Amino acid sequence: MLEKATFAGGCFWCMVSPFEEEEGIEEVISGYTGGHTENPTYQEVCSETTGHLEAVQITYDPDKFSYEKLLGLFWAQIDPTDPGGQFNDRGESYTTAVFYHSEEQKEMAEASKNKLESSGKFSKPVVTKIRPASAFYKAEEYHQKYHRKNPLHYKMYRHGSGRASFIKKHWSV
């Protein structure tokens, strides 16, 4: 039986590719969640008036790719210590969060966050929030699978924003 996982990791363009490449991941959708405006547009979310965060919603087969593995992959795409956004993207809509869909996901997310905090990997506190899932609104079509539609721009953005070098420095084995 397929399940959902929802993660906000800053710019959703950069959060699709790492997940969709994994066996057991059925779908990754870019969208908006966590706010109070119904059916927000990208411009509205960027205006910081909706309360929404850019996020990805993942449909996955937990027998092929566990929620714990999803959490590990999520952490390895972000700077969990940045309360003001991610890399060059600043503001509430670019902050990080794990949106849980069940009590089991909540417990696993909290345990995963606590493990990361106590690991000593970062000198600053882990500020990524663990929040209940709420309505998820699919982003405009031009945002879906952006890395495939605009590979050169995506690659330049990922590197230019500082995300790629941060991941390499902090998450590479």
Domains of the chain (ranges; CATH) run 3-171 (3.30.1060.10)
End-to-end CA distance of the chain: 32
Sheet holding 25-33, edge to edge: 129-132, 96-100, 3-9, 53-60, 25-33, 136-138
Distance between CA 103 and CA 158 in Å, rounded?
33
Residues annotated as catalytic (active site), given as ranges = 11
Closest CA to 3 of 108, 78, 79: 108
Distance between CA 78 and CA 141 in Å, rounded?
24
Phi and psi torsions of 21, nearest 5°:
-80, -5
Query: Would you give per-residue pLDDT tens digits along the chain (173 residues)?
Result: 999 999 999 999 999 999 998 999 999 999 999 999 999 999 999 999 999 999 999 999 999 999 999 999 999 999 999 999 999 999 999 999 999 999 999 999 999 999 999 999 999 999 999 999 999 999 999 999 999 999 999 999 999 999 999 999 998 75
Phi and psi torsions of 138, nearest 5°:
-65, 135
